[in-house]
Amino acid sequence: MGGIEAAWGQADMPWGFNQSMLDRFWESLTAPIWDWLNQYPVLYWLMLHPIWLLVTLVTLLFLLSGLLGAIARLTERLWLAILRSPITLMQWLWRGSLFLLSRLFAAKSTAVHSVSAKSSVPTLGTASLTPSTSLTSQVTSQDRLTEVLNRLEVLRQEQDELLREVKLLLGTQSVSR
């Protein structure tokens, strides 16, 4: 029994290798692994308990797949935001310019109506349409304020008349019952 193994251990192995060369080669491969396992005893314990190692690996794979999915969703949203940004910018500029133009035309039409509606206020001509100085803009804002206050007064009077009518109608309903 010991003849072949002993003879093989003593003699040169095929291709010119002997046992001590193979042992040193094997040791050079496994030494870093053993050093690493000695530095991390939990991993050494997991290597000795394969069921716990399997549970740990499955859990780590599950967590890793969740992390990779979150990274994929994040990069997808990032690319969509980057690709949509020119369109969003154009929409923002379009809406802003429409808003500014509508305010500009509303201010011009209000200034024209307020100037033509009031005979006591001297007309400012084209200066009321395009206020170029602070005096012109101040006069225009004062005219607008006066117009708004007059409209509020008219609305208050109309509200008072409507309230009197409601009271009159409610009073006649209670008398008729």
Average pLDDT, the chain: 81
Please give the residue range of the domain that contains residue 147: 122-177
On whether residue 3 sits in a domain, the answer given is no
Q: Is residue 13 part of a domain?
A: no
Shared domain for 128 and 155, answered yes or no, is yes
Task: Answer yes or no: is pLDDT of 122 > 50.
Answer: no
Q: Could you give the residue ranges of the DSSP H alpha helices within the chain? A: 2-10, 19-39, 41-48, 50-117, 134-176
Q: Domain check: are 149 and 86 in the same one?
A: no
Identify which has the larger pLDDT, 140 or 56: 56
Q: Please give the pLDDT value at position 126.
A: 46
Q: Are residues 104 and 134 in the same domain?
A: no
Between CA 140 and CA 129 the distance in angstroms is 9
Is the residue at 141 inside a domain? yes
Closest CA to 108 of 93, 97, 92, 124: 124
Phi and psi of 121, rounded to 5°?
Answer: -85, 130
| Overall average pLDDT of the 75-92 stretch | 94
Question: Are residues 106 and 128 part of one domain?
Answer: no
Q: What is the pLDDT of residue 63?
A: 98
What are the Cα distances from residue 46, in Å, to 33, 85, 116?
A: 14, 50, 92
Identify whether residues 71 and 129 lie together within a single domain.
no
The reply to whether 22 falls in a domain is no
60 & 110 share domain: yes
- Please count the structural domains in the chain: 2
pLDDT of residue 171: 86
